[in-house]
Amino acid sequence: MKIKDLVRKNIEELTPYSSARDEFKSTSDFIYLDANESSYDNKLNRYPDNRHIQLNKLISSFKNVNTNNLILCNGTDELIDLVIRVFCNPGLDKIITLNPTYGMYDISSRINDVENIKIDLDINFQIDINKVLSSFDSNTKVIFITNPNNPTGNSLSNEAIIKIIESFKGIVFIDEAYVDYSNISFLKKINSYNNLIVSQTFSKALGLAGIRLGVGYSNPEIISYLKKIKPPYNINSLTEKKAIESLMREYVNIDQVNETIYERKFLELKLKELAFVKVVFPSNSNFLLIKVDDADKRYKQLIDYGIVVRNRSNVKGCENCLRVTVGTPQQNKILINTLKKI
Ligand SMILES: Cc1ncc(COP(=O)(O)O)c(C=O)c1O
Mean pLDDT confidence for 216-224: 98
**Quick check: 28 pLDDT over 80?**
no
**Quick check: 304 pLDDT over 90?**
yes
Interaxial angle between packed helices 53-63 and 237-249, expressed in degrees from 0 to 180 and rounded to the nearest 10: 40
Going by alpha carbons, the residue nearest to atom 3 of ligand 1 is 177
- Say what the pLDDT of residue 18 is: 83
Percent over 90 (pLDDT), the chain: 95
Q: How far is Cα 263 from Cα 86, in angstroms, rounded to an integer?
A: 41
CA-to-CA separations, 204 to 32, 75, 177, 179, in angstroms, rounded: 38, 11, 7, 9
Going by their DSSP bridges, the two strands 310-311 and 94-99 should be labelled as unpaired
Q: Give 188 Cα–ligand 1 centroid separation in angstroms.
A: 21
CA-to-CA separations, 240 to 76, 202, 248, in angstroms, rounded: 16, 12, 12
Residue 105 · residue 82 · CB < 8 Å: no
Q: How far is Cα 271 from Cα 298, in angstroms, rounded to an integer?
A: 13
**Quick check: 27 pLDDT over 90?**
no
DSSP 197-216: EEEEESSSTTS-GGG--EEE
Q: Give 244 Cα–ligand 1 centroid separation in angstroms.
A: 21
Residue 31 carries which side chain, given as an amino acid letter?
A: I
Backbone angles phi, psi at 328, to 5 degrees: -75, 165
- Say what the pLDDT of residue 217 is: 98
Mutate to test the pocket of ligand 1, among 98, 101, 104 (most ligand atoms within 8 A of CB): 104
Q: How many residues does the chain have?
A: 342
Going by alpha carbons, the residue nearest to atom 7 of ligand 1 is 76
Q: Chain centroid to CA 330: how far?
A: 28
Cis-peptide, bond into residue 232, ω within 30° of zero: no
Handedness of CA 124, 138, 113, 213 (dihedral sign): positive
Higher pLDDT, 302 or 22: 302
Closest CA to 213 of 261, 245, 253: 245
Q: Is 210 in the pocket of ligand 1 (CB under 6 A)?
A: no
- Say what the pLDDT of residue 20 is: 78
Q: Domain 3-21+49-249: state its class.
A: alpha beta
Q: What tens digit of pLDDT does each residue of 271-289 get?
A: 999 999 999 999 999 999 9
**Which element (helix H / strand E) includes 260?**
helix 254-272
Q: Is 238 in the pocket of ligand 1 (CB under 6 A)?
A: no
Mean pLDDT confidence for 131-144: 97
Q: Give 201 Cα–ligand 1 centroid separation in angstroms.
A: 7
Q: Which CATH architecture has domain 254-341?
A: Alpha-Beta Complex (3.90)
Which part of the chain is CATH 3.40.640.10? 3-21+49-249
Q: 76 pLDDT band (50/70/90 cuts)?
A: very high
Q: What is the mean pLDDT of the chain?
A: 96
Q: Is 201 in the pocket of ligand 1 (CB under 6 A)?
A: yes
Q: What tens digit of pLDDT does each residue of 184-207 get?
A: 999 999 999 999 999 999 999 999
Q: Give 264 Cα–ligand 1 centroid separation in angstroms.
A: 19
**Quick check: 26 pLDDT over 90?**
no
* Backbone φ/ψ region at 147: left (φ over 0), alpha (ψ -120 to 50), beta: beta
Q: Is 214 in the pocket of ligand 1 (CB under 6 A)?
A: yes
